[in-house]
Chain A
Amino acid sequence: MSFKNLDSEKLKPGVSSDLSDERDVRRAIAPHQHDFPYERDEEAQVTRREFCNFLALTSTALFVSAAGVAGKAALDSRSEQSFSPMKIEGAEALAPGSALNFRYPTEDETAILVRAADGQYFAYGQKCTHLACPVYYEQQRQRLECPCHEGGFDVRSGNVLYGPPPRPLDQIVIEVRGGEVWAVGRKAGSHGRSV
């Protein structure tokens, strides 16, 4: 049954039917609106006061976030991490002037091992110290570069050469044991910029 062809006097609120459009709905609920008046359009609006309350909640969330980020960073810096030695698979076959990615000290943290032209190994955490984009080895220029904001790092020291990164890359301590390359620790890059 449809209300479309009926007069408004015949309609009663609460009757289930397939109402065709908004005008029919409004006509159908007119008696109810008379007893309990409210404006449908106004109901959808947000008042200034409600929006102020929302902004206060946002302010609370922003403060908690800033305190949380700072607290976590401070805790991480104080906690002593122990690193278990791990063999870097495929490192011995790495050609001079090339790089290899591996995971250290956990499966979630990627690192990069670089073999310089003279055969020496250097390893760093792959997160750029600016905004944590993964750095890669630029073979022609022989340096580590961040593609996000064009930061550059020295391959031998991890120091910042140019760009926005504020500190050197985290260094992975490596040892060569009988031709095999092992990662044995990790050191946070301290402040410094090579000029």
Chain B
Amino acid sequence: MDAPYSVGEAAKPRSRATRGRAALEQARLIMLVMINVAQLWILAATVEAALAHSYQEMWPLVIASGICWLISLSIILWWRPASRRYTSTGYVRERR
């Protein structure tokens, strides 16, 4: 039975480009999750080093966390699925 509020059309088979974009989004997601887990571990190690007054261990950990942050920033800002209409900087190409 069709619901009265149901509008739109049935799902079409996904194109190759759509499948590629989905795979890329999935890869971005997995990388970001891994970076977050690593940063969580680094934060725990930083707290332990701070409590132990081990300053020579603390700063490399902060730098490592910063590098992780830069990687995740680059993934979010630049490593995106390309579109035929939208460039990586968000610019919309005119249709030909």
Contact = CB atoms under 8 A, between A and B. Distances in A.
A65 B43 contact: yes
A48 B43 contact: no
Interface of A: 8, 26-27, 29-30, 33-34, 37, 48-49, 51-53, 55-56, 58-60, 62-63, 65-67, 69-70, 72-74, 77, 129-132, 166-167, 188, 191
Interface in B15-61: 22, 25-26, 28-29, 32-33, 35-36, 39-40, 42-43, 46-55, 58-59, 61
Contacts of B52: 129-130, 166-167
Contacts of B36: 55, 58-59, 62
Contact of A69 (B4, B40, B46, B53): B46
B51 A66 contact: no
19 contacts: A33-B5, A37-B8, A53-B76, A55-B33, A59-B36, A63-B65, A66-B61, A69-B43, A69-B46, A70-B50, A70-B59, A73-B55, A73-B58, A74-B55, A77-B55, A131-B51, A166-B51, A166-B52, A188-B53
A34 B8 CA distance: 10
A56 to B, nearest CB: 4
Nearest to B33: A55
Given A26-B3, A48-B28, 4 more contacts: A26-B4, A26-B5, A73-B53, A167-B53
B7 interface: yes
Given A34-B7, A66-B42, A56 B29 contact: no
Given A26-B3, A26-B4, A67 B25 contact: no
A69 to B, nearest CB: 5
A60 B51 CA distance: 23
Nearest to B45: A66
A60 B7 CA distance: 40
B73 interface: yes
